[in-house]
A = this chain, B = another copy of it.
Amino acid sequence: MEKQRNEALVRVACVQMEPVIGEKARNIRRSVERIETAADNGAHLVVLPELANSGYVFETREEAFSLAETVPDGPTCDAWAEVAVRRGIWLVAGLSEREGDALYNAAVLIGPHGHIGTFRKNHLWNEENLFFEPGNLGFPVFHTPIGRIGMMICYDAWFPESFRLCALQGADIVCIPTNWVPMPEQDLERDAMANILVMGASHANSVFVAAADRVGTERGQPFIGQSLITNHAGWPVAGPASATEEEILYADLNVADARRERNWNDFNQVLRDRRTDVYGEMLGSGAKRGWF
Protein backbone atom coordinates (compact mmCIF):
# COMPACT_ATOMS: atom_id res chain seq x y z
CA MET A 1 0.00 0.00 0.00
CA GLU A 2 1.30 3.43 -0.85
CA LYS A 3 2.31 5.67 1.99
CA GLN A 4 0.19 8.72 2.79
CA ARG A 5 2.07 11.89 2.00
CA ASN A 6 1.77 15.63 1.81
CA GLU A 7 1.30 16.37 -1.90
CA ALA A 8 3.84 19.16 -1.79
CA LEU A 9 6.69 17.57 0.15
CA VAL A 10 8.84 14.64 -0.86
CA ARG A 11 11.08 13.28 1.88
CA VAL A 12 14.31 12.07 0.32
CA ALA A 13 16.86 9.91 2.10
CA CYS A 14 20.44 9.38 0.94
CA VAL A 15 21.97 6.25 2.43
CA GLN A 16 25.72 6.63 2.88
CA MET A 17 27.07 3.14 3.54
CA GLU A 18 30.09 0.91 3.04
CA PRO A 19 29.49 -2.08 0.80
CA VAL A 20 32.06 -4.87 1.05
CA ILE A 21 33.54 -6.13 -2.21
CA GLY A 22 32.18 -9.52 -3.16
CA GLU A 23 29.86 -9.96 -0.17
CA LYS A 24 26.68 -9.49 -2.13
CA ALA A 25 24.25 -11.20 0.23
CA ARG A 26 25.56 -9.15 3.14
CA ASN A 27 25.45 -5.91 1.14
CA ILE A 28 21.87 -6.53 0.05
CA ARG A 29 20.82 -7.35 3.60
CA ARG A 30 22.46 -4.23 5.01
CA SER A 31 21.05 -2.03 2.23
CA VAL A 32 17.54 -3.33 2.98
CA GLU A 33 18.03 -2.62 6.69
CA ARG A 34 18.88 0.98 5.86
CA ILE A 35 15.95 1.31 3.47
CA GLU A 36 13.69 0.10 6.27
CA THR A 37 15.17 2.69 8.62
CA ALA A 38 14.65 5.45 6.04
CA ALA A 39 11.05 4.32 5.49
CA ASP A 40 10.51 4.25 9.26
CA ASN A 41 11.62 7.88 9.22
CA GLY A 42 9.08 8.82 6.56
CA ALA A 43 11.22 8.73 3.42
CA HIS A 44 9.30 8.58 0.13
CA LEU A 45 12.45 8.26 -1.99
CA VAL A 46 15.62 6.46 -0.89
CA VAL A 47 18.92 6.74 -2.78
CA LEU A 48 21.70 4.19 -2.34
CA PRO A 49 25.32 4.38 -3.57
CA GLU A 50 26.78 3.15 -6.85
CA LEU A 51 27.41 -0.61 -6.98
CA ALA A 52 25.78 -0.86 -3.58
CA ASN A 53 25.35 -4.63 -3.79
CA SER A 54 28.73 -5.69 -5.20
CA GLY A 55 31.44 -3.28 -4.06
CA TYR A 56 33.56 -1.30 -6.51
CA VAL A 57 37.14 -2.50 -7.01
CA PHE A 58 37.01 -5.64 -9.13
CA GLU A 59 40.27 -7.50 -9.67
CA THR A 60 39.30 -9.60 -12.66
CA ARG A 61 36.57 -9.77 -15.25
CA GLU A 62 35.67 -13.14 -13.80
CA GLU A 63 35.01 -11.51 -10.45
CA ALA A 64 33.04 -8.68 -12.05
CA PHE A 65 30.85 -11.13 -13.97
CA SER A 66 30.33 -13.26 -10.84
CA LEU A 67 28.86 -10.24 -9.01
CA ALA A 68 26.64 -8.96 -11.84
CA GLU A 69 23.04 -9.92 -12.36
CA THR A 70 20.21 -9.36 -14.78
CA VAL A 71 17.83 -6.45 -14.23
CA PRO A 72 15.12 -6.42 -13.03
CA ASP A 73 14.84 -10.15 -12.41
CA GLY A 74 17.94 -10.75 -10.30
CA PRO A 75 18.22 -11.34 -6.55
CA THR A 76 19.25 -7.75 -5.72
CA CYS A 77 16.37 -6.16 -7.61
CA ASP A 78 14.05 -8.73 -6.10
CA ALA A 79 15.13 -7.80 -2.60
CA TRP A 80 14.92 -4.05 -3.28
CA ALA A 81 11.54 -4.37 -5.00
CA GLU A 82 10.19 -6.42 -2.08
CA VAL A 83 10.97 -3.68 0.42
CA ALA A 84 9.91 -0.83 -1.89
CA VAL A 85 6.52 -2.46 -2.57
CA ARG A 86 5.99 -3.46 1.05
CA ARG A 87 6.83 0.02 2.34
CA GLY A 88 5.22 1.93 -0.58
CA ILE A 89 8.34 3.91 -1.40
CA TRP A 90 10.60 4.77 -4.31
CA LEU A 91 14.20 3.64 -4.47
CA VAL A 92 17.21 4.53 -6.66
CA ALA A 93 20.17 2.21 -6.17
CA GLY A 94 23.34 1.19 -7.97
CA LEU A 95 24.25 -2.31 -9.01
CA SER A 96 26.27 -4.24 -11.57
CA GLU A 97 24.00 -5.29 -14.40
CA ARG A 98 24.67 -8.16 -16.81
CA GLU A 99 22.99 -8.27 -20.20
CA GLY A 100 24.27 -11.17 -22.26
CA ASP A 101 28.04 -10.87 -22.14
CA ALA A 102 28.04 -7.15 -21.39
CA LEU A 103 28.23 -5.57 -17.94
CA TYR A 104 26.86 -2.12 -17.08
CA ASN A 105 27.40 0.05 -14.04
CA ALA A 106 23.67 0.59 -13.56
CA ALA A 107 21.07 2.17 -11.31
CA VAL A 108 17.49 1.07 -10.95
CA LEU A 109 14.41 3.10 -10.11
CA ILE A 110 11.94 0.96 -8.19
CA GLY A 111 8.56 2.13 -6.90
CA PRO A 112 5.61 0.88 -4.88
CA HIS A 113 4.64 -1.33 -7.82
CA GLY A 114 8.10 -2.66 -8.57
CA HIS A 115 10.79 -1.89 -11.15
CA ILE A 116 10.18 1.34 -13.10
CA GLY A 117 13.35 1.87 -15.09
CA THR A 118 17.08 1.46 -15.43
CA PHE A 119 19.98 3.83 -16.04
CA ARG A 120 23.44 2.79 -17.23
CA LYS A 121 26.43 4.97 -16.37
CA ASN A 122 27.43 6.85 -19.47
CA HIS A 123 30.89 8.08 -18.44
CA LEU A 124 33.13 5.30 -17.12
CA TRP A 125 35.85 6.20 -14.63
CA ASN A 126 39.33 4.69 -14.78
CA GLU A 127 39.43 0.87 -14.56
CA GLU A 128 35.67 0.60 -14.85
CA ASN A 129 36.68 0.62 -18.52
CA LEU A 130 38.09 -2.89 -18.01
CA PHE A 131 34.80 -4.32 -16.84
CA PHE A 132 31.82 -2.27 -17.98
CA GLU A 133 30.40 -1.11 -21.29
CA PRO A 134 29.52 2.58 -21.62
CA GLY A 135 25.85 3.22 -20.92
CA ASN A 136 23.50 3.00 -23.90
CA LEU A 137 20.24 4.27 -22.43
CA GLY A 138 20.91 8.03 -22.48
CA PHE A 139 19.62 9.93 -19.46
CA PRO A 140 16.03 8.75 -19.10
CA VAL A 141 13.67 10.72 -16.85
CA PHE A 142 10.82 8.81 -15.28
CA HIS A 143 7.46 10.25 -14.30
CA THR A 144 6.31 9.19 -10.84
CA PRO A 145 3.64 10.46 -8.46
CA ILE A 146 6.36 12.14 -6.36
CA GLY A 147 7.92 13.96 -9.33
CA ARG A 148 10.04 13.41 -12.41
CA ILE A 149 13.17 11.50 -11.52
CA GLY A 150 16.48 11.46 -13.42
CA MET A 151 19.54 9.42 -12.60
CA MET A 152 23.27 9.57 -13.16
CA ILE A 153 26.22 7.79 -11.57
CA CYS A 154 29.40 9.36 -10.17
CA TYR A 155 31.64 10.54 -13.07
CA ASP A 156 28.52 11.36 -15.13
CA ALA A 157 28.21 14.41 -12.85
CA TRP A 158 31.54 15.76 -14.19
CA PHE A 159 29.67 16.39 -17.45
CA PRO A 160 27.22 19.29 -17.25
CA GLU A 161 25.49 17.76 -20.24
CA SER A 162 24.21 14.99 -17.95
CA PHE A 163 22.33 17.44 -15.74
CA ARG A 164 21.12 19.46 -18.71
CA LEU A 165 19.63 16.40 -20.36
CA CYS A 166 17.80 15.49 -17.16
CA ALA A 167 16.56 19.05 -16.65
CA LEU A 168 15.53 19.52 -20.28
CA GLN A 169 13.36 16.43 -19.91
CA GLY A 170 11.70 18.01 -16.92
CA ALA A 171 13.48 16.25 -14.07
CA ASP A 172 12.54 17.56 -10.63
CA ILE A 173 15.03 15.42 -8.72
CA VAL A 174 18.31 14.04 -10.03
CA CYS A 175 19.45 11.02 -8.03
CA ILE A 176 23.15 10.18 -8.03
CA PRO A 177 24.29 6.82 -6.70
CA THR A 178 28.03 7.43 -6.47
CA ASN A 179 31.41 6.10 -5.32
CA TRP A 180 33.35 9.37 -5.24
CA VAL A 181 37.13 9.02 -5.04
CA PRO A 182 39.56 11.77 -4.01
CA MET A 183 40.22 14.29 -6.80
CA PRO A 184 43.71 15.55 -7.63
CA GLU A 185 44.59 18.85 -5.97
CA GLN A 186 41.46 18.94 -3.74
CA ASP A 187 41.54 22.23 -1.86
CA LEU A 188 41.12 21.06 1.72
CA GLU A 189 39.77 24.43 2.81
CA ARG A 190 36.82 24.11 0.45
CA ASP A 191 33.94 21.76 -0.25
CA ALA A 192 34.82 18.54 -2.10
CA MET A 193 34.94 19.17 -5.86
CA ALA A 194 32.22 16.52 -6.24
CA ASN A 195 30.01 18.65 -3.98
CA ILE A 196 30.91 21.82 -5.89
CA LEU A 197 29.93 20.16 -9.17
CA VAL A 198 26.62 19.03 -7.66
CA MET A 199 25.80 22.43 -6.14
CA GLY A 200 26.65 24.29 -9.35
CA ALA A 201 24.68 21.93 -11.57
CA SER A 202 21.71 21.89 -9.20
CA HIS A 203 21.64 25.71 -9.24
CA ALA A 204 22.22 26.09 -12.99
CA ASN A 205 19.43 23.64 -13.77
CA SER A 206 16.98 24.46 -10.96
CA VAL A 207 16.80 20.80 -9.94
CA PHE A 208 17.04 19.02 -6.63
CA VAL A 209 19.99 16.66 -6.44
CA ALA A 210 20.28 13.70 -4.08
CA ALA A 211 23.76 12.15 -4.13
CA ALA A 212 24.40 9.02 -2.05
CA ASP A 213 28.07 8.13 -1.71
CA ARG A 214 29.87 5.23 -0.08
CA VAL A 215 32.61 5.42 2.54
CA GLY A 216 35.59 3.25 3.45
CA THR A 217 38.70 2.03 1.65
CA GLU A 218 38.44 -1.00 -0.63
CA ARG A 219 41.54 -2.80 -1.91
CA GLY A 220 43.52 0.41 -1.41
CA GLN A 221 40.94 2.73 -3.02
CA PRO A 222 39.57 5.32 -0.59
CA PHE A 223 36.10 6.82 -1.01
CA ILE A 224 35.18 10.24 0.30
CA GLY A 225 31.58 10.08 1.61
CA GLN A 226 30.16 13.61 1.81
CA SER A 227 26.79 12.61 0.37
CA LEU A 228 24.47 15.56 0.00
CA ILE A 229 21.01 16.73 -0.96
CA THR A 230 20.60 20.16 -2.56
CA ASN A 231 17.54 22.33 -3.00
CA HIS A 232 16.66 23.75 -6.42
CA ALA A 233 18.83 26.80 -5.71
CA GLY A 234 21.84 24.48 -5.44
CA TRP A 235 22.41 24.68 -1.67
CA PRO A 236 22.74 21.69 0.63
CA VAL A 237 19.57 21.02 2.60
CA ALA A 238 21.12 17.86 4.04
CA GLY A 239 24.83 17.13 4.30
CA PRO A 240 27.50 17.09 3.14
CA ALA A 241 27.67 13.95 5.26
CA SER A 242 30.77 12.66 7.03
CA ALA A 243 33.78 11.75 4.89
CA THR A 244 34.23 8.44 6.67
CA GLU A 245 31.10 7.28 8.54
CA GLU A 246 27.92 5.57 7.47
CA GLU A 247 24.83 7.74 7.92
CA ILE A 248 21.48 8.58 6.37
CA LEU A 249 20.64 12.11 5.20
CA TYR A 250 17.04 13.31 5.06
CA ALA A 251 15.49 16.33 3.38
CA ASP A 252 11.91 17.40 2.60
CA LEU A 253 11.77 18.72 -0.96
CA ASN A 254 8.90 20.87 -2.18
CA VAL A 255 8.69 19.91 -5.82
CA ALA A 256 5.71 22.15 -6.56
CA ASP A 257 7.37 25.27 -5.20
CA ALA A 258 10.56 24.46 -7.06
CA ARG A 259 8.68 24.38 -10.36
CA ARG A 260 7.02 27.70 -9.49
CA GLU A 261 10.16 29.47 -8.40
CA ARG A 262 12.32 29.03 -11.45
CA ASN A 263 11.70 32.60 -12.54
CA TRP A 264 14.49 34.60 -10.94
CA ASN A 265 13.16 38.00 -12.07
CA ASP A 266 10.98 39.49 -14.82
CA PHE A 267 13.33 38.19 -17.50
CA ASN A 268 15.35 35.20 -16.37
CA GLN A 269 14.49 31.53 -16.05
CA VAL A 270 17.75 29.68 -16.39
CA LEU A 271 16.47 26.75 -18.44
CA ARG A 272 14.60 29.02 -20.82
CA ASP A 273 17.56 31.38 -21.19
CA ARG A 274 19.72 28.85 -23.01
CA ARG A 275 21.04 30.16 -26.34
CA THR A 276 20.35 27.07 -28.37
CA ASP A 277 21.06 29.14 -31.49
CA VAL A 278 24.64 29.42 -30.22
CA TYR A 279 25.30 25.92 -28.93
CA GLY A 280 22.55 23.66 -30.21
CA GLU A 281 19.76 21.82 -28.47
CA MET A 282 21.79 19.07 -26.79
CA LEU A 283 18.78 16.83 -26.90
CA GLY A 284 20.47 13.72 -28.23
CA SER A 285 18.75 11.59 -25.67
CA GLY A 286 15.35 12.14 -27.19
CA ALA A 287 14.39 14.86 -24.74
CA LYS A 288 11.33 16.95 -25.37
CA ARG A 289 10.76 20.60 -24.53
CA GLY A 290 8.02 22.39 -22.67
CA TRP A 291 8.52 21.21 -19.12
CA PHE A 292 9.70 24.45 -17.64
**A-side interface residues toward B, CB under 8 Å?**
122-127, 129, 134-135, 138-139, 155, 158-162, 164-165, 183-187, 190-191, 193, 196-197, 199-201, 203-204, 231, 233-236, 264-268, 270, 273-285
Tell which of B135, B138, B187, B281 touches A235, judged by Cβ atoms closer than 8 Å.
B187
Which chain B residues lie closer than 8 Å to A134 at the CB level? 275
- Distance between A174 CB and nearest chain B CB, rounded to angstroms: 14
Which chain B residues lie closer than 8 Å to A124 at the CB level? 267
Q: Contact at A125–B268, with CB atoms within 8 Å?
A: yes
Between-chain CB contacts (< 8 Å), 13 pairs: A122-B278, A125-B268, A126-B266, A127-B267, A134-B275, A135-B278, A158-B204, A159-B270, A160-B161, A165-B278, A187-B235, A200-B201, A280-B283
- Distance between A145 CB and nearest chain B CB, rounded to angstroms: 27
Q: Contact at B185–A193, with CB atoms within 8 Å?
A: no
- Distance between A190 CB and nearest chain B CB, rounded to angstroms: 7
Closest to A273 in B: B123
Count the copies.
Answer: 2
Tell which of B135, B265, B281 touches A126, judged by Cβ atoms closer than 8 Å.
B265
- Distance between A108 CB and nearest chain B CB, rounded to angstroms: 19
Docked complex Cα distance between A279 and B166 (Å): 11
A197-B204 in contact given A278-B122, A280-B284 (Cβ < 8 Å): yes
Q: Contact at B191–A126, with CB atoms within 8 Å?
A: no
Q: Contact at B161–A282, with CB atoms within 8 Å?
A: yes
State the 3 A-B residue pairs at the shortest beta-carbon distance, nearest first.
Answer: A160-B160, A200-B200, A185-B233
Tell which of B265, B268, B282 touches A279, judged by Cβ atoms closer than 8 Å.
B282
Closest to A162 in B: B279
Docked complex Cα distance between A96 and B190 (Å): 36
- Distance between A106 CB and nearest chain B CB, rounded to angstroms: 15
Q: Contact at A278–B196, with CB atoms within 8 Å?
A: no
Q: Contact at B265–A187, with CB atoms within 8 Å?
A: no
Q: Contact at A203–B199, with CB atoms within 8 Å?
A: no
- Distance between A26 CB and nearest chain B CB, rounded to angstroms: 30
Which chain B residues lie closer than 8 Å to A279 at the CB level? 161-162, 164-165, 282-285
Closest to A233 in B: B185
Q: Contact at A190–B191, with CB atoms within 8 Å?
A: yes
A196-B200 in contact given A278-B139, A278-B284 (Cβ < 8 Å): yes
